Structure 1
Amino acid sequence: MQAGGAAEESAEYTPDPRRWKALAVCLVAGFMSLLDVSIVNVALPSIKVGLHGTQSDLQWVVSGYALTFGLVLVPSGRFGDARGRRNVFILGVAVFALASAGCGISPNAMLLIITRLIQGLAAGLLIPQVSGLIQQLFRGAERGRAFGLLGATIGISTAVGPLLGGVLIAIFGEREGWRYVFYVNVPIGALAILLAYRLIPARRPEQRRRQHLDPVGVILLGLGVVLLLLPLAEEQEWRGQAKWLLVVAAVGVFVAFIFWERRYGRSRDSLINLELFRRRSYALGLLIGLIYLAGFTATFFVFTLFLQQGKHYSALEAGVAVTPFAAGSAVSAALAGRVITKLGRPLVAAGLAMVALGVGGAVVAVHLVPGRGVGFATAAPLLLAGVGSGAVISPNLTLTLSEVPVREAGSAGGVLQTFQRIGSAIGIATVGSVFFATVASTHNDYSSAFQRAVLLSVAFDVVALCAALVDVFAGRAENARQRRADRAGRHA
């Protein structure tokens, strides 16, 4: 990172009058792509009926999207930084809409899996551009509010996906309803493309940077991500312990990637600026995002399974049950974005504590209300967890990227999203393993399985809270040293 880069960029900043409208376009497209992470979960029974898919087919419908999503986040973010974020964003939206149409018309499970893989690639193209455009278009308190809206979008898309999927399946029927889960993306994507051309500023030719693509870095990072995510995504399908050798191989590839980037970065722009990891706000923000998403994603994964398979809720009923979380997250994320520049990391720590209490409360509610009334019993604790989540996701985005120069915003945001995707995969693999193992060992006691699995999710939240507290106390110690140095300077 160049010294004074952030200050120079702030000095050159001129607010674009269309910035809030451009943000709205970005958020709509981001919502569309992130929605497909969770909406498919409630559609899996419908897909199984409609396409006569096997359990392995259904696993790949979910994991294939996450795999290709995580694969291209960093390279696409870096390409957008160098060549202009608008064009990469529009390309991602266009491919995503076309792939969604392909998913909807798929006559068999194999074609559905292929189009889901393409869908994931497209989502990986556009998502880093969203955080990069926020860095580019906003400064100061406005940037915090913009990231607050992005955080609300992330939280709502994840939580409301089951509800929207349930509504579409209820309207169009179990056999064909899953197709409309994908069709809904097509008109949204078409509208987003038209508005993006009008509202998102294009990079002027003189602003484009000629740079090497670092193909070796791209290959090493992509290989490492695949080797790490594949055994996590296929944890339930691949029996035996041999699959975890891929994780060992992934660690080796990541070590090789770091050595290569250090060498490459001496004379050229590397794929990832490793100097960013020396900044506490960025490094701890990545860690918090990884650990929190592990618990957050896994909670809804097992909760949906628990309601549909254990309590025989319909897809719509299961979606309604998680609505309190979505409502709480939407409101608090928008509010947190307005105050994050004043409150800093303590706000994230408070949010994580609320999530742990709320999710833990849901476990207690399931224990006390064993029947079909669990949806009502968990409403209040899920609302509390949602309010806490809104105070985690958007503030952590803002703080993690706060010291990143705008010229590196896309690649830095891609790294953050990659960490979050890895966290999600780790959470689903570990928490899901506890859930399925308990179901098998207790002869389909889904309530016990839910309680044991979600307690592990709470543990992830607590570990993330500890990381946030480390940042809080380190920040206070740094401020105290700075004040002492200032006093010593005045007395000198």
Structure 2
Amino acid sequence: MTTQLLSGGPAVDGVPLLGPVSRGPADAVATGISTVGLITVLMGAFLSMADFFIVNVALPTIDADLHASAATVELVVAAYGIAYALLLVLGGRLGDSFGRRRLFIAGMAAFTVTSLLCGIAPTALTLVIMRAAQGAAAAMMVPQVLATIQASTTGQARSRAIGLYGATAGIASAIGQLAGGVLVSADIAGASWRPIFLVNVPIGVVGIVLALRHLPATRAHTPVPVDLRGTVLLGVTLLCLLVPLMEGRSLRWPAWTWAMLVATPVAAAMLIGAERRLERAGGVPLLPPSLIALPSMRNGLIAGAPFFAGFGGFMFVTAVGLQDGAHLGPLASGLTLVPLAVAFFIASLLTTRLLARYGRSVLMAGAVLQAVGLAVLAATVLQRWPDVGPWSLAPGMIVAGFGQGLIMSPLFRVVLGGVPAERAGIGSGVLVTTQQAALALGVATLGTLFLAEAGPGGMGMAHALAMVLGVQILVAVVFVFTSRLLPG
């Protein structure tokens, strides 16, 4: 197969791989994207998402090896997610201004270096700092993925590419935990947990080489200054929300955690006011109110945020519960998610045709299937605990994974479908920031709920896991109704 995918390019079974090139004023360089180029940007998305989840199954091993406190171990997850969410929108803006190809390569290089530093970290504190740096590198890289797709494809080509992005994001979460289990269990050269980070180094080097050769150079036609005030206020808002939720339980909720939570709506109000004033004055804010007011963006974020929060909580609680409660090893814990990943991938491949025929009903059906799968998992846990494993949990995982696959890929298409090409970078930044903040929020809230109830004085591991699954079922039911806000 030739890799050239410009207008009038190749097709498979009569279906064009990518559509005609967008040649509006949006980009300083108008070009298409090759198959290898698309794979390259999706590789960046895969690495960033997989690394959010890959540490879940390794946390007990990291704890034992580095003699870390409970709060520090949680920060290994939290530091990455917080830095990632804080800087994503800024990364999208920088890509629009200085070139998406340039920012993608710089982000991939930084991600590769910080992965190496994570892998050789001598102390828990060093690992936490490097994880934050790794999250910042991912924030430089990931917004360029969707922005490049938006700027270099149109029509059905764009729909397919965004669908592949959604599929990649979902599959990476399951494969990340599976890969973490395999690498920790293999204990390569006695390195214990360290290969979960070191494995990124050769992949990152390959990604840089491919990006240099195959990524199109796109950027916004007229660069705009960075909204420093908006960036600071967004950072303060997210930190005030996420830090206490992630660290409050392990630190027994000191006064400063409550003070930060109280400050969250104040910081959010200041952010909204500042962005509105800047846009009215003719400036370009970090989070343009006019962009968020687009029906596809606004309604997609309303529907998507709870889904992503539930998804993040599900992955974290499953990994911790199966290891600490059912006493599965890292490998068995990771293998439990293989049926979910396979079902998710199959569903993602079907969404383009299903959307064309049934519209938003596909997302509603996905939410129903997810709820059914979670209910099956909860029933299995209550009936068989602690004698559960990959085989006994497979039916529920398959149904839940298929439902999640019917949601995530179409959701990305719907949200970005109404975003003009010249705002592709900021649009993708807003979307992925919401995704990452919601994932972190899900880990913080559902993880805290699970750990509190599973510990001494709680209801026990099995009932705690079933309770969290019940909360996620409720989230899926809510999505059935919020998805009706989406176009189509």
TM-score of the aligned structures, taking structure 2 as reference length = 0.90
Separation of aligned partners in 2, 1:465 and 1:238: 36
Tell me the distance in 2 between the aligned counterparts of 1:405 and 1:17: 17
| Alignment counterpart, residue 215 of structure 1, candidates 228, 231, 234 | 228
Partner in structure 2 of residue 258 of structure 1: 272
In the alignment, structure 1 residue 463 sits paired with structure 2 residue 478: yes
Question: What is the alpha-carbon distance in structure 2 between the residues aligned to residue 107 and residue 240 of structure 1?
Answer: 29
1:330-373 deviations in whole A, cap 9, x for unaligned? 11112214543554322111111111111111101112222423
**Letter in structure 1 aligned against 2:384:** V
- Residue in 2 aligned with 1:118? 133
Residues 235 and 346 from structure 1, CA distance in 2 versus in 1: closer, same or farther, beyond 3 angstroms?
farther
Structure 1 residue 277: deviation in Å?
Answer: 2.5
Question: Any idea what the Cα deviations from partners look like across 1:262-285, whole Å, max 9, x if unmatched?
Answer: 221132222222112222221111
Moved more, 186-195 or 173-182: 173-182
Corresponding residue for 2:445?
430
Please show how residues 403-414 of structure 1 align to structure 2 within 5 Å: 403-414=418-429
- Aligned pair in 2 of structure 1 residues 241, 285: CA closer, same or farther (>3 Å)? farther
8 A contact 1:47–1:175 mirrored in 2: no
**Structure 1, residues 300-328: CA drift from partner, whole Å, max 9, x if none?**
21111111001110000000011111111
Q: Which residue of 1 aligns with 2:17?
A: none
Output the CA distance in 2 between the equivalents of 1:429 and 1:69.
15
Q: Which has the higher helix share?
A: 1
* Contact 1:165 1:181 (C-alpha < 8 Å) held by counterparts: yes
Amino acid in the other structure paired with 1:210: P
- Contact 2:30-2:218 within 8 A present in 1 as well: no
Say if 1:298 and 1:428, in contact at 8 Å, map to a contact too.
yes
Q: Is it true that 1:247 corresponds to 2:261 in the alignment?
A: yes
Tell me, yes or no, if the aligned pair for 2:188 and 2:195 is still in contact at 8 Å. no
Q: Work out whether 1:366 is the aligned partner of 2:381.
A: yes
Aligned counterparts of 2:314 and 2:408: Cα–Cα separation in 1: 15
The answer to whether 1:109 aligns with 2:124 is yes
For residue 90 of structure 1, report the CA deviation from its aligned partner.
0.8
Q: 1-side partners of 2:189 and 2:76: how far apart? A: 17
Report the Cα distance in structure 2 between the residues aligned to 1:241 and 1:340, rounded to whole angstroms: 48
Partner of 2:433: 418
Q: What does residue 391 of structure 2 align with?
A: 376
Aligned partner letter, 1:392 = I
Q: 1:86 and 1:54, CA in 2 relative to 1: closer, same or farther beyond 3 A?
A: same
SS state at 2:193 partner: helix
Structure 1 SS opposite 2:142: helix
The 8 Å contact of residues 224 and 250 in structure 1, kept in 2 or not, is answered as yes
SS at match of 2:252: coil
Distance 1:210 1:16 in 2: 18
The one-character-per-residue Cα deviations of 1:155-180 (angstroms, maximum 9, x if unpaired) are 11111212111111121269622110
Corresponding residue for residue 397 of structure 1 = 412
Aligned-partner residue type, residue 283 of structure 1: R
CA drift of 1:74 comes to 0.6
Indicate conservation of the 8 Å contact 2:33/2:152, yes or no: no
Q: Give the aligned residue type for 1:71.
A: L
Q: Note the 1:8-157 alignment, pairs <5 A.
A: 16=31, 18-157=33-172
Match of 1:176 among 153, 173, 191: 191
Distance verdict in 2 for CA 1:74–1:27, change over 3 Å: same
d(CA) in 2 for partners of 1:248, 1:234: 16
Q: Which amino acid aligns with 1:238?
A: L
> Which residue number in structure 2 is paired with residue 310 of structure 1?
325
**Letter aligned with residue 83 of structure 1:** F
Distance 1:47 1:441, change over 3 A: closer
Is contact 1:290–1:420 with CA below 8 Å preserved after alignment? yes
In the alignment, the residues of structure 1 paired with residue 22 and residue 152 of structure 2 have an alpha-carbon distance, to the nearest angstrom, of 11
Deviation at 1:82, TM superposition (A): 2.2
Taking structure 1 as reference, are residues 83 and 217 closer, same or farther at Cα in structure 2, changes over 3 Å only? same
Cross-structure match for 2:16: none
The answer to whether the Cα contact below 8 Å between 1:289 and 1:416 also exists between their aligned partners in 2 is no
Q: 1:322 aligns with which of 337, 342, 355?
A: 337
Partner secondary structure for residue 178 of structure 1: coil
- SS of residue matched to 1:107: coil
Change (3 A) 1:441 1:104: closer
Of residues 351, 354, 368, the one that matches 1:353 is: 368
Whether the 8 Å CA contact 1:366–1:377 is kept in 2: the answer is no
- Deviation of the 1:425 alpha carbon: 2.5
TM-score using structure 1 length: 0.89
- The SS at the match of 1:72 is helix
Q: Report how far residue 16 of structure 1 moved.
A: 4.5
Q: 1:337 to 1:232 in 2, by over 3 A?
A: farther
Letter in structure 2 aligned against 1:103: C
Q: Is the 8 A contact 1:94 1:193 kept in 2?
A: yes
- Percent of pairs identical after alignment? 34
> In 1, are the aligned partners of 2:143 and 2:432 still within 8 Å (CA)?
yes
Q: How does 1:229-244 map to 2 (within 5 A)?
A: 229-240=242-253, 242=255, 243-244=257-258
**1:434 Cα offset (Å):** 2.4
The runs of at least 4 consecutive aligned structure 1 residues that moved more than 4 Å come to: 8-17, 441-444
How many Å apart are 1:11 and its aligned residue? 6.0
Structure 1, unpaired ranges of 5+: 1-7, 476-492
The aligned length equals 464
C-alpha contact (below 8 Å) 2:221/2:422 kept by paired residues: no
Counterparts of 2:282 and 2:386, CA distance in 1? 64
Contact 2:386–2:462 at 8 Å: present in 1 too? no
Gaps of 5+ in 2: 1-20
Q: Tell me how far apart the structure 1 counterparts of residues 188 and 212 of structure 2 sit (CA, whole Å).
A: 37
Deviation of the 1:25 alpha carbon: 0.1
Deviation at 1:429, TM superposition (A): 2.4
Q: CA separation in 2, counterparts of 1:245 and 1:342? A: 50
CA contact (8 A) 1:165 1:315 kept: yes
Contact 2:22-2:152 within 8 A present in 1 as well: no
- Report the secondary structure of 1:358's partner residue: helix
Which whole-Å deviations, capped at 9, do the CAs of 1:429-471 have from their partners, x for residues lacking one? 2222321222235568311111011111221222222210243
